[in-house]
Amino acid sequence: MKQRVLALVLEGAISAEMLLFAIFLLTNRRRTPALYLLAGLSLDLAGMIAANLLIAAEGFSQLADFVLFLDLLAPALFYLYLTQVRSEAKPLSWTAAAHTLPALAALALWRSGILSAMDVYVIACWSAYLCAAMVQFARHRDSYAPLALRRFVMMLTGAFVTITVLRIVIVANASGGAPFLTGTAYLFVLIAVFLVTCQFLFTALHYPNLLTSPASCVKYGRSALDAAEVNNLETRFDALFQEQKPYLNPDLTVAELSMMLDVPARQISQFINSRFGTNVPAYMNQCRARHAACLLVESPDKPVKIVLFEAGFTSKNIFNREFQRNFGMSPTAYRSAQLENEKEQ
């Protein structure tokens, strides 16, 4: 009984979250195919779970066909979203409507009685689309930039794979007579979906436009470097920043970094955008803030004003702003907290 109550609470929370997320997306002025597909996926999941909730709570069995259709439409929307959110995506054409055919075919097979149970069909469709999505991601991995988008796509795909595996467990348990909606596996599915919705909201709020228009978060969409050259640049970049710490120079420019690394300035800007999801000045300030954090702890008697200059900052206001952005507190509060932790240890 407790499990069923918890499941109902999760179903209600997920439906509300996904509905709000879809509304949030549709208020965005930057309309892209990826935005519409992600909003469609959100509304699809919200509608499917809300309908399941009504079926379980009020006995609206007539919604079963609606749930089946949405359940089979969701993986298609996810796959299409992955094709559109990457850079250099091909424009959607009317042929994308063909992805509704598995859902329409399922309704026909179900209504005609050819298939008395749709569990295997649904899991097969989800598995096929997830495999296609993983192939798509593997082929165009570098096109999912910046890094935050790539991580989001990987986490979302992993979550859907986990949900599909749990659904297989549910079907196996149901074949043995275990109740479908009160089983532990179903509860885990809801928890997984709830975590996915939380990840949607967190990522969308933390990185505006990232999930629907990633090109606006990356200044350069095309790389002039091949994989070997990127790896070489990455190695030299890391060595330079660890050994010489060029960011300590407050007047550092992209042109100077270009000379140090013997790489065109445009490629350096692109590399930092792609790897760190930010621009060059912002990344330099991140490095300076981290260096200042080390100085604050290593030299507890050194005035903050001296620390900020030694870290490469030229203004106290900029220093305080960047430090707060990176560590969530002021430099003075950070120093006090770290020293207090050291005393306790």
The pLDDT tens digits for 26-85 are: 887 777 888 899 999 999 999 998 998 888 777 788 898 999 999 999 999 999 999 998
| pLDDT at residue 43 in the model | 95
What is the DSSP code (8-state) at residue 74? H
Q: Identify the segments of the chain with pLDDT beneath 70.
A: 1, 87-88, 145-146, 174-183, 206-209, 213-228, 345
Using CA atoms, how far apart are residues 36 and 42, in angstroms rounded to an integer? 10
The one-letter amino acid at 86: R
Q: 0.85 cut: is pTM over it? A: no
| pLDDT at residue 274 in the model | 76
Peptide bond into 146 cis (omega under 30): yes
The structure tokens 């919705």 sit at 197
Surface-to-core class of residue 310, CB atoms within 10 Å of its CB (0-12 exposed, 13-18 middle, 19+ buried):
middle
